[in-house]
Amino acid sequence: MENKEKQPLVQVKHLCKYFKVGRHADLKAVDDVSFDIYKGETVGLVGESGCGKSTTGRCMIRLYEPTKGEVIYDGKDITKLSKAEQKEFCRKVQMIFQNPYASLNSRMTVKEIVGEGLKQHGVPKNEIDKRVQALLETVGLNKDHMSRFPHEFSGGQRQRIGIARALSVDPEFIICDEPISALDVSIQAQVINMLKDLQEERGLTYLFVAHDLSVVKYISDRVVVMYLGMVVEQAETEELYSNPQHPYTKALLSAIPEADPDKAKANRRIPIKGEIPSPINPKQCCRFAERCEYATDRCFNEVPELREVCPGHKVACHLMDEK
Ligand code: SF4
């Protein structure tokens, strides 16, 4: 990808987010996570629920303050912005939330919800109506919807309102936090295609947080796989799906349903034994060790480093040392 030569738009560097859950207990939701996002691309951040992917996204928009590490946006550490820079950051970086039922204020009309950001960023009152109407049309709604309340809409329509709200301040970078997982399957493709079209029209950059690997494959240029607070593998989408290296990624990919019956027969589903261990005070070892069919003593005693195994493809697994 030619944009590798350029400066990333977003750099997540050794990001950690710990939550205190007792006097001597930290829930390490995100633990030393690093990856970059280049302008105009979509990075998929995937893993099972509880792996820290949403917490990572929330740290990147400052809904959570990182415990350690940095998030650099357009060359600047987002925790060290001046007031004016902070305001601009809030405009440039938006989020689309997982639950379109909970993320819209039920007491506000659609016009108020979508127009709120415009008001905050100083758009004159007489302009707001026009802008809200145009935004609703962009996401497949219309001006008749402006005076209605969220409960009058379906899940898919509510997510469209959430997208119009995110677009209202003309952002550069949108964190899509499981934007389709609460929607009916029939609506999911519409929302994904709309996000893709908007990206092309507006030159948007996305972080697409999801647990559904087939959706991530469709929308992402690169994919970062997380397990229990850490990155285990990252690569360009085609490379990751055709040549996965980490045992966890291989197991996740083997679970994707295959539409072609011949291919489905040939594919062996790799089971992952047991449950995700607790992220509270995790041991200094490979966090996947208890569930990995290849685990050795070393895996239970040493954290594998995330290292590049071929250009742009990084893996955190001791098995890579044998290659
Ligand atoms: Fe499995 Fe060991 Fe690799 Fe962890 S480091 S994924 S336990 S082989």
Count of structural domains, the chain: 1
Residue type, 122: G
pLDDT digits (tens, 9 = 90+) for 39-84: 999 999 999 988 999 999 999 999 999 999 999 999 999 999 999 9
**What is the pLDDT, as a whole number, of residue 292?**
95
Ligand 1 mean position, distance from CA 306 (Å): 12
Determine, yes or no, domain membership for 306.
no
What CATH number is attached to the domain comprising 58? 3.40.50.300
Q: Higher pLDDT residue, 323 or 318?
A: 318
Most confident of 182-196, 202-216, 263-277: 202-216
Determine, yes or no, domain membership for 287.
no
Determine, yes or no, domain membership for 110.
yes
Residue 76 structural domain: 10-240
pLDDT digits (tens, 9 = 90+) for 77-136: 999 999 999 999 999 999 999 887 788 999 999 999 999 999 988 889 889 999 999 999
Count of C-beta atoms within a 10 Å radius of residue 313:
17
**What is the pLDDT, as a whole number, of residue 185?**
84
Confirm or reject: Cβ of 318 under 6 Å from ligand 1: yes
Determine, yes or no, domain membership for 205.
yes
| Ligand 1 mutation pick, 286, 296, 306, 321, max ligand atoms within 8 A of CB | 286
- Residue length, the chain? 323
Determine, yes or no, domain membership for 310.
no
pLDDT digits (tens, 9 = 90+) for 237-285: 999 999 999 999 999 999 887 767 776 666 778 878 888 888 998 889 9
Ligand 1 mean position, distance from CA 319 (Å): 7
Indicate yes or no: pTM above 0.85.
Answer: yes
Determine, yes or no, domain membership for 146.
yes
Ligand 1 mean position, distance from CA 269 (Å): 18
* Encoded tokens for 211: 């647990």
Confirm or reject: Cβ of 320 under 6 Å from ligand 1: no
